A and B are shown apart, each in its own frame.
Chain A
Amino acid sequence: MKTPMLQMFTVAALALAATTASAKDREVHVYNWSDYIDPTILEDFTKETGIKVVYDVFDDNSLLETKLLAGGSGYDVVVPTGPFLQRQIKAGVYAKLDKSKLTNISNMWPDVMDRLAKYDKGNEHAVNYMWGTTGIGYNVAKIKAVLGDVPIDSWDVIFKPENAAKLKACGLNILDAPDETFAIALNYLKKNPDSKDVADIRAAGEVYSKIRPYARSINSAAYINDLANGDICITIGWSGDILQAKKRATEAKNGVEIKYVIPKEGTYMWFDNLAIPADAKNVAEAHEFINYLMRPEVIAKASNFVQYANGNLASQKFVDKDVLDNPSVYPTKEVMGRLFTISPYEGKSQKEVTSVWTKFKNGR
C-alpha cells in the first residue's frame, strides 16, 4: 500500500479530515461488540465533550479483524480480544497509545494489566475494557427435565456424548469461537490449553465432533435470545452474554430461569480491549473517549448494564453489589487460579484449527 498514488490520496484525505475537524462537529467512530455498553454512557460523553459518537457493532472478532487488515476501516476506537489484539499488533494495525492523554489510567487493575501484557507487551497499544470467562449457560427447568436432579458444575455435562444426547431434545448451542473452544477442550482433556500441536488440535476437535449430532446450533450472538426465549436450553457461552439472557428472560416474564457456571475443570479467561487503529482520523477524540471510559463511575455503569467485569480496580466501589459479589462475574481468588489464557494461532496451527472446526460445523 505504498504506491505514490495512495500516498497522494492519504494526504488529500488527511487535509480533508483536518478541515472538517477544525469545524465545530468533532466525531469519534467506535466499533464495539453488540450488546456491550449502556447507551446512556455515549449520550453523556457527547453532552460533556461535544464529541459525537458514531457507534457501530460486530459479533465476531474475525469481522473486526478483516476490516482492520483491509485498512481504511474508518474506526477510531475498536475492541479486539487478547489473541486477536496480539496478532493485529504484529500486522501493524494499531497506533501506540499516548499515555499522557490517558490521565485515568491509574484507575486500572494491575492484575488485569499484567495478564493483558501477555498479548500487548508493556501495555503500549491497548487498555482493558471488559473481561470474562467462557462457561456454561443453561435453562434450569429444562435441564432438570432432561438430566434429572444433578449438579451442573463440570464440562462433562456437554462433552460427554451420553449427556449431550439427552440435551438434543431441548437444544444445545456450541459457541462459534474456535480459538477458545479448542483451548477449553484441551484443558478438559488435561492437556496444555495453549498447545499448538496438530495432534492436540485434532484431539480437541474429536471432543466436539462426538457431540456434533446433538447440537442444535453453533453461533456466538443469536444464542443470547435463543436462551432467553427457551429456543435452546444449554450453551457454551460468554459469562456476560448468559447473564444478559437471564436479564432478558426476567424482563420478558416468560418463566425462563437461566444460570451461568464456571465449570470446575477451569476455563478460558478473555480480555476485550480498547485500541486505536494506526489509520484512525480522530486520534485526539479517540483518546478522550478511552479516557472517559476509564473513569471509575462510567465503566461501573457499563458493567452494571452488561454484567461483565471490567479491568478498572477503582470502579469496584461503584459496581452494583449483585454484580460485584456474583462469582460468575467477578470470580473468587480460588476460581481465578483455574482460569487460563492462550496465545494466538498462527500459520499451520491456525489452518488446522479452522479446518477441524469447519468440518465439525458441517457435521463431517
Chain B
Amino acid sequence: MAETPTSFAKASPSRWLIVTIPYLWLVLFFAAPFFIIFKISLSDTAIAMPPYEPVFEGFASLGDFLSKLDFENYQSLWGDSLYLSAYLSSLRIAAISTLLLLMIGYPMALAMARAPSTIRPTLMMMVILPFWTSFLIRVYAWIGILKPEGLLTAALHAVGLMAPDQQVEIYRTDYAVFIGIVYSYLPFMVLPLYSALEKLDGTLLEAASDLGCPPWKAFWKITFPLSLPGVIAGSMICFIPITGEFVIPDLLGGPETLMIGRTLWVEFFGNRDWPLASAVAVVLLLALVVPIVIFQNQQQKVR
C-alpha cells in the first residue's frame, strides 16, 4: 500500500474535485430534498399555498418557526394501524416479488452465461430490448392481456381450457401486481446475475466433475456461492424500488392492494396532508436505509 491517508491529503486539487463531486451530488439530490421533506413532516396542514404551516420565511423568525414544529405526524403514524400494515404489506410484496425474480432470473442468467459466446450479445439484446418501449405502455399492455374481456380470456376460450361463460379474474388483484412487477423488473435481476455468472471460472466445475461431484451438487457448492454478489446486487436493485412502487399497483392492483406508495399518494393528493405524507416518506426511507447500511457493514466485515 503506497497510498496512505496522509499522502492522499496532499494530493493535487484535481483529485480533490473528483472526490468531492459525488458528495456534492449526494448533498444536492439526496440530503437537501430529504431535509426539506423532513422539515415539512414536522409542520401542520393549513388551507393555504403551500398547504402547510409554518413556512420558513427567513432567519429573522427562525426561533418562532422552530417553535411551531413538532413530531405530531409521527405519532399519528403509530396511532393508525393502516400505515404499519401498508409498510408490512409493501415489504411482503417486495420480498415475494424478489424471490420470484430470482427463481426466474437465475436460470435465464445461467443459460445466457453458458451459451456460446457468439450468441451472447443477441441474448443480451433480447433482455434489454423491452426498455425501448415506454415502461408505462408495457404495463398498460398487461391490462389488455389480463382484464376479464382481455386477450388471456380470449386465448383460453379459443383453446378450450376455459368454459365460454367464464373469464379470468386476475386484473385488479394482487396476482396482477406480481405479474407486472416481475415482468418489469426482470432485466434488473438478470443483468447483475449474468455479469457475476459470466466471470465464473469454468475449470472449477470441470475439476469438480473430475473429482466425482454430481452437477447439482457442483451448482450449490461452486456456482451459487460464487454468484452470490450478483444475487445480492440484483435482489437489492429490485427489492428497494419495489417497496416504494406506485405505478404498477395503481394500474394493475385491486382496491385492496395495500402498498405504501399508494398510501402516500392518498395522503398527499386525496387528503392534502403534505406533512403526514412527508412523515410516511421519512419513515419509509429509514425503514429501507437502516437495514441496507447494516447489511453493507456486515459484507465489508466478511471481506
Contact = CB atoms under 8 A, between A and B. Distances in A.
B182 interface: no
Given A66-B272, A351-B271, A359-B82, A90 B255 contact: no
Contacts of B48: 69, 91-92
Contacts of B272: 62, 65-66, 69, 350
Given A359-B82, A362-B258, A66 B269 contact: yes
Interface residues of B, number: 29
A71 interface: yes
Interface in A1-50: 1-3
Contacts of A66: 268-269, 272
Interface residues of A, number: 39
Interface in B261-277: 263, 266-273
Contacts of B57: 2-3
Nearest to A62: B269
B246 to A, nearest CB: 14
Contacts of A311: none
Interface in B72-102: 80, 82, 85
B149 A362 contact: no
Nearest to A346: B47
Contacts of A65: 269, 272
Contacts of B212: none
A231 B151 CA distance: 13
A63 interface: yes
Contact of B270 (A68, A217, A354): A354
Interface string B245-264: 00000000011101000010
A215 interface: yes
Contacts, number: 77
Interface in B18-55: 45, 47-51, 55
Interface in B88-119: none
Contacts of B255: 215, 217-218, 361-363
Given A229-B149, A350-B271, A354-B270, A363 B82 contact: no
A357 to B, nearest CB: 8
Contacts of B149: 229-231
A37 to B, nearest CB: 24
Contacts of B45: 347
A118 interface: no
Contact of A69 (B50, B85, B270, B271): B50
A2 B56 CA distance: 9
A91 B148 contact: no
A229 B149 CA distance: 8
A302 interface: no
Contact of B49 (A60, A91, A354): A91
A169 B225 CA distance: 50
A355 interface: yes
Max chain A Cβ within 10 angstroms of own Cβ: one of B48, B85, B267, B268: B48
B49 A71 contact: yes
A363 B256 contact: yes
A76 B197 CA distance: 56
Contacts of A230: 149
B148 A231 contact: yes
Interface of B: 45, 47-51, 55, 57-58, 80, 82, 85, 147-149, 172, 254-256, 258, 263, 266-273
9 contacts: A62-B269, A66-B272, A70-B49, A91-B48, A92-B49, A217-B172, A231-B147, A358-B82, A362-B82
Interface of A: 1-3, 60, 62-63, 65-66, 68-71, 87, 90-93, 171, 178, 215-218, 229-231, 346-347, 350-351, 354-355, 357-359, 361-364
Given A1-B55, A231-B147, A362-B82, 13 more contacts: A63-B269, A66-B269, A66-B272, A87-B47, A91-B47, A229-B149, A230-B149, A231-B149, A351-B273, A354-B271, A355-B82, A359-B82, A362-B256
A-B pairs with lowest CB-CB distance, top 9: A62-B269, A363-B256, A354-B271, A218-B255, A361-B255, A69-B51, A91-B47, A62-B270, A362-B258
